Amino acid sequence: MKLCTLKIVDQEGFSLGYPKNWSQSKPVKVSFGGATEEVQSAPLTTADHTFLLSKPLAEKLYMPLTIRRIHVIQKDNTLYFGPLIGIITSGFTSIKTKPIGDRSSFFSRIMRFQAKQGVVFIVFGKDHINWDEGTIKGFSYNEQGWEQVTVPFPNVIYDRLPNRKMEGEEKFRIVKKKLQDEYLIPWFNPGFFNKLDVFERIEQDNDAQRYLPETHAFTSFDVIERMLSKYGHVYVKPQNGSLGSGIHQLFYDRDSDSYYCRFKDKEGNKRLRKYQTLESLFNNLFKNKSLKNMMIQQGIALMKYNHHPVDFRVHTNKDEAGNWTVSAIAAKVAGTGSPTTHIKYGGEVKTLEEIFPDTKQRKKIEDQITEASLILSRALEKNMEGIIAEIGFDLGVDQQEQIWLFEANSKPGRSIFIHPDLKGFEHLTRKLMLSYAIYLTKMSILSPEELFS
């Protein structure tokens, strides 16, 4: 797809003017998103990358009249302008300045550079769809702020549902299936990962399995006893947890023949409890939780910074060629007495430069983390359903510099970007998302069989 200049002119009829050096055949149709119209087209006298579109045609295509730059591609006799990127989410409000509540600022940052990048965004929910007209009345963001606009069905859909509850709603699942199956709209980053399912799938990949700590679904206390004996400590985690919630670190002390558990309570207070048996520990701390949804993971003796354990958040994204690339790496330093490095529980974000002042060591660790992240990304893409284009990994590096995967997130949080030296990487992740949406649009037009086979 080529980035071009688009001018919408006051001219009657459905007319299109295209550059005289346009190498394709004469267009007889114009498409924007899911809308297509026949046109009267003629070459312009100029040889640049400017296209002229009559205002009635732009309005018929539900094309925003403020567009100045957009990508264009031609297949057969149809000229496709786009991409029109739909971001599906939930949690809409009636507040004009915050139509998606507190997450409005996140979406506005994604959309802020759409004019410069030559794309068009629409944020929408399942109730904004008009199936009879094939349109969406969603929300757009520009220099004047938020506004509600009507556009055709998008070229691609970026899944930003906020939680598993929304994702599991029957109405949403019907919308997703219909847009994918009946309208053949590529839908990327679908679904939240189940932690145990991720591990079981990566185990199928010979290259990636070496990064997996021993991990099991909770089945019996015997499994925990064996792992405590082997590793010294283990983690008990909810399979569908997020942001570090519900994580417990278990130790066994041979001298006192006692079990210890480090965790955060509902108020976020750090707790360390002692028990004589595993049964009493679980009866007290997990009495209101379903253990069948918990997993047990090998404890790792992590490398430390100022005597505090450190792990690493890595973002990977697909690029403009559909290849995986590492877009951000940050260190997370655990707070005092915390079982995790999450910021919510007192963790602190650091750059690699802060953690590894020695250039040689930093380069070595960065290369190892990068290699592991790309191998894991490809393994997940190969063994998971749907189009995955963005992953957030939590990786550990032990004291022998072995890389370990703790978690993979299909909708990674953005907390690492609070560090002033990492804000540029947040921009890179947004740019790569745009680049991949352009790639998907191109593939859906020129080679749909490769996407939907």
CATH code for the domain of 72 = 2.40.40
Least confident of 197-211, 218-232, 332-346, 366-380: 332-346
Pair 163, 92 in one domain: yes
> How far apart, in Å, are the Cα atoms of 124 and each of 58, 99, 196, 263?
21, 10, 31, 38
Q: How many CB atoms lie within 10 A of CB 60?
A: 15
Pair 126, 168 in one domain: yes
Pair 181, 249 in one domain: no
pLDDT digits (tens, 9 = 90+) for 380-401: 999 998 999 999 999 999 999 9
Pair 371, 228 in one domain: no
Pair 172, 277 in one domain: no
The total of structural domains in the chain comes to 4
Structure tokens, 6: 């688009």
Pair 327, 428 in one domain: yes
Q: Which residue has 């997940």 as its token pair?
A: 380
Cis peptide before 19 (omega within 30 of 0): no
Q: Which of 368, 384, 370, 371 is nearest to 205 (CA)?
A: 384
Q: Model-level pTM?
A: 0.90
CA pair distance 294, 250, nearest whole angstrom:
14
Q: Which residue has the higher pLDDT, 244 or 207?
A: 207
Assign residue 197 the CATH number of its domain.
3.30.470.20
Most confident of 126-140, 162-176, 416-430: 126-140
Look up residue 47 and give its DSSP letter.
-
Dihedrals phi, psi of 183, to nearest 5 degrees? -105, -5
Which of 242, 264, 298 is the C-terminal boundary of a domain? 298
Pair 307, 207 in one domain: yes
Pair 350, 421 in one domain: yes
Q: State the pLDDT confidence band at 288, using cuts at 50, 70 and 90.
A: low
* Residue numbers of the domain that contains 65: 2-82
Pair 235, 279 in one domain: yes
Look up residue 441 and give its DSSP letter.
H
pLDDT digits (tens, 9 = 90+) for 58-83: 999 999 998 999 999 999 999 999 99
Q: State the pLDDT confidence band at 331, using cuts at 50, 70 and 90.
A: very high
pLDDT digits (tens, 9 = 90+) for 300-314: 999 999 999 999 999
CA pair distance 213, 407, nearest whole angstrom:
11
pLDDT digits (tens, 9 = 90+) for 363-377: 999 999 999 999 999
CA pair distance 109, 427, nearest whole angstrom:
9
Q: Are 79 and 19 in contact (CB under 8 A)?
A: no
What's the whole-number average pLDDT of the chain? Answer: 92
Pair 362, 431 in one domain: yes
Which of 244, 266, 298 is the C-terminal boundary of a domain? 298
Predicted confidence (pLDDT) at residue 219 exceeds the cutoff of 90: no
Give the gyration radius of the chain's Cα atoms.
25
Q: Report CA torsion sign: 263, 267, 270, 273.
A: negative
Which of 82, 98, 113 is the C-terminal boundary of a domain? 82
Pair 355, 207 in one domain: yes
User: Mean per-residue pLDDT for 158-165?
Assistant: 91
